[in-house]
Amino acid sequence: MVLPLWFIITGSFMGTGEFQSNFQPVLDNTTGKVSWPLLPVYPTLRSYVELLLDSPKFFVVFWNSCKQVFPSLLGQLMIAVPAAWSFARFKFRWKKALFTLYIILMVMPYQVTMVSTYLVLDRLNILDSHLSIILPAAFSTFPVFIMFKFFKSIPESLIEAARIDGAGEWRIFWNIGIPIGSVGILSALILDFLELWNAMEQPLNFLKTKSLWPLTLYLPGISTDKAGITLVASVIMLSPALLLFLYGQKYLEQGIMVSGLNE
C-alpha cells in the first residue's frame, strides 16, 4: 500500500545515471530487467534543482493547479455551507424532493453531466479559462451532503435556546452552526481537495490552451528521458495531500464515514 509512496520519494533522489540504468528496460523498451532499489545508491538533489530552478514552466503549472483548486474550495465554502444548513435545520416544502435531487447529482458520474456542462460553459463563454473548472466545482452538491450530516447532529435544544434568547437566524448559523459544524466543513473540504487536486477529466475536456493546464495534465506530458523530474514533480504534487493526511486524517475519516451514513 505505502510501497508506491516510498518508491516515488526515493526515486526522486536518484541521479540521471542511476535512474537510466534502473529504468532503461521499461522506458526505452530495451532488453534487460528493471530494478528499483529500496534506497538510491547515490542520492542526489539534482532532479530537484533541475525542476525547481531550471523549469519556470513548472511554476506556471503549479500555480494553475492552485488557481483552479482554491477558488473552487472557497466557492464551495460560501455556497455549500449555507445550503447544508438549510437542509439540516429547516422544514420547508419540496425539501425532501430537493435533497433527493442533490444526492442523485452527487452520485452521477462525471461523464453524464460532461456534455451539459460543456454546453453551459460554451453559452457563458468561459470555456478554456480557469472559470470553466472553478464554477462547476463550486456548485458541487457533494460538500452539501457531507456538511448536512454534521449540521444535523447539532441538538435542536441548543438552537431553541438561542432562539428564545432572541438570536436571529443568521446569528444562530454564524455563532452556533459554523463553530459546531466546523469538523464537518473541514471534512468536506479535505475530501474535495483530494478530488480537485487530482482532477483530470474536466481540465482535459474544457481547457484547450496548454498554458492553463494543471499539474495532473502536465505531469504525464514530461518526456520519458526526464522521468526523474516527473518523480520530483510527483513528490511536490502529493505533498499537500500528504500534509493533509498528517494533520487532518481525523477529519478525512469522519468525512468518509458520514458519506456512508444512512439517514
Partner 1 sequence: MNQTKTAWAFLAPSFLGVIIFVLLPFGDVFRRSFSETITGRYVGLDNYNTVVHNEAFKQAVYNTTRFIITCVPLLLVLSLILSVMIFNLGKHKDLFKTSFLIPMAIPVSSAVFLWKVVFHQNGLLNALLSKFGIEGCDWLNTKAFPVLVFTYIWKNLGYDMVLWLAGLNGISSSLYEAAGVDGANSWNKFWYITLPGLFTTVFIVTVLSILNTFKVFREAYLIAGPYPSDDSIYMLQHLFNNWFTSLDIQKMCAAAIIVAFVVVTVIMILQQVDKKIGGEE
Task: Name which of residues 13 to 72 contact partner 1 (CB under 8 A).
Answer: 23, 25-26, 29-36
Provide the minimum distance between the beta carbon of 203 and partner 1 in the complex, in angstroms, as a whole number: 11
Residues 6 and 36 sit within 8 Å (Cβ to Cβ): no
Residue 204, interface with partner 1 (CB under 8 A)? yes
What would the grid cell of residue 96 be?
A: 425532501
CA-to-CA distance for 153 and 180, rounded, in angstroms?
10
CA-to-CA distance for 21 and 35, rounded, in angstroms?
9
Tell me whether residue 30 or residue 209 sits nearer to partner 1 (CB atom): 30
Figure out which of the listed residues 10, 21, 129, 259 binds partner 1, where binding follows CB under 8 A.
259
Figure out which of the listed residues 14, 51, 186, 252 binds partner 1, where binding follows CB under 8 A.
252
Q: Which stretch binds partner 1 (CB under 8 A): 38-46, 50-58, 98-106, 181-189?
A: 98-106
- How far lies 218's CA from each of 12, 60, 214, 254, in Å? 17, 10, 6, 32
Q: Which stretch binds partner 1 (CB under 8 A): 13-21, 42-50, 53-61, 235-243?
A: 235-243
Residues 140-199 contacting partner 1, CB under 8 A? 141, 144, 169, 173, 194, 198
Residues 135 and 227 sit within 8 Å (Cβ to Cβ): no
- How far lies 213's CA from each of 39, 50, 56, 85, 162, in Å? 33, 21, 14, 35, 48
∠ at Cα 221 (20, 72), nearest 5°? 130
Provide the minimum distance between the beta carbon of 232 and partner 1 in the complex, in angstroms, as a whole number: 11
Residue 10, interface with partner 1 (CB under 8 A)? no
User: DSSP assignment, residue 38?
Assistant: S
Figure out which of the listed residues 56, 155, 166, 260 binds partner 1, where binding follows CB under 8 A.
260
Q: How far is CA 32 from the centre of its chain?
A: 39
Provide the minimum distance between the beta carbon of 249 and partner 1 in the complex, in angstroms, as a whole number: 6
Residue 223, interface with partner 1 (CB under 8 A)? no
Provide the minimum distance between the beta carbon of 262 and partner 1 in the complex, in angstroms, as a whole number: 5
Q: Which stretch binds partner 1 (CB under 8 A): 56-64, 113-121, 152-160, 180-188?
A: 113-121
Figure out which of the listed residues 40, 200, 226, 248 binds partner 1, where binding follows CB under 8 A.
200
What would the grid cell of residue 26 be?
A: 521499461
Q: How far is CA 103 from the centre of its chain?
A: 20
Provide the minimum distance between the beta carbon of 199 and partner 1 in the complex, in angstroms, as a whole number: 9
Tell me whether residue 26 or residue 41 sits nearer to partner 1 (CB atom): 26
* Phi, psi (rounded to 5 degrees) for 202: -60, -55
Q: Which amino acid is at 32?
A: G
Figure out which of the listed residues 134, 136, 148, 212 binds partner 1, where binding follows CB under 8 A.
136
User: DSSP assignment, residue 238?
Assistant: H
Residues 216 and 97 sit within 8 Å (Cβ to Cβ): no
Figure out which of the listed residues 95, 96, 163, 210 binds partner 1, where binding follows CB under 8 A.
95
